[in-house]
Amino acid sequence: MRNAGKRNVVGILIDAVDYEHAVHVILQAARDRRAAAVSALAVHGLMTGVLDHEQKFRLNRFDLLVPDGQPVRWALNWLYRTGLSDRVYGPNLTHRLCECAAKEGLPIYFYGSTPEILAALRRSLENEYPGIAIAGMEPSKFRCLTPLEKQELTARISSSGASLLFVGLGCPRQEVFAYEFRTALDMPVLAVGAAFPFLAGVSPQAPRWMQDRGLEWLFRLASEPRRLWRRYLYLNPAYAVLVMLQALGISRFHTEGKSPVREILYG
């Protein structure tokens, strides 16, 4: 296992860890019935914290922010010589956790996406990991929850017997959700992004050679240009410039952020 601790990447505290350490930490929290906020963060997710001081505050209070994107891993290796040989990709992390949960009998809960994707995800996971205990699946409401709805959702998840909660609401909504529910649930809350449709077999993933070279963004841009063009054509170059400024010592990036004035309750 490799764990070089939290490292400041343009103001966001990323955990320089590998898959083995991330799985170990998350499963131990699940076994101990201990709350933990976790996210697999690529460039887009990291930049939401750079551009929004309240989101920076949330992200920098997560228990575990793993380097989902290759450019995030590269920055950790370049700035801090962490020696990470691979990223911690959200869909792969979800696979590994589901495999371990099935072996240990740890029930899991999925929140987010659509009923169709969740149904396909259930079939895929039950086929790949016989005996996996899925305590519940609930689609997103695609709107903000009321305080009463948050209480009811918390009660449903808690009473389900789940030991792990996977959240797939898209970035940055899922990170806000994980931050706001982290103290309400006695289990790890994991924001895993596109893992739901990927693992369900509904959305295609980039070929491995593109993933290894940090070109997954290009594959996704070609697949969904109208939705993603602003994200990649603006944020990726901005991220590269900021990392360069940090590496050269021209800019220092503070990690404090601004405490959110209210809950958003994405659902």
What is residue 157's DSSP assignment?
A: H
Angstrom CA distances, 39 to 132, 140, 188, 214, 249, stand at: 22, 18, 10, 19, 28
Please report, as a single letter, which amino acid is at residue 2. R
Residue 46 in contact with residue 113, Cβ under 8 Å? no
Across-strand partners of 136? 109
Measure the CA–CA gap between 64 and 41, rounded to whole angstroms. 10
**Residue 229 pLDDT:** 62
pLDDT tens, 65-99? 999 999 999 999 999 999 999 999 999 999 999 99
Signed CA dihedral, 105, 106, 111, 112: sign only: negative
Q: pTM of the predicted model, to two decimals?
A: 0.92
Domains of the chain: 3-200 (3.40.50)
Measure the CA–CA gap between 229 and 162, rounded to whole angstroms. 37
pLDDT tens, 227-245? 766 777 788 899 999 999 9
Angstrom CA distances, 114 to 78, 98, 125, 137, stand at: 39, 20, 16, 10
Whether residue 218 has pLDDT greater than 70: no
Q: What percent of the chain has pLDDT over 90?
A: 78
For 101, the token pair is 């949960």
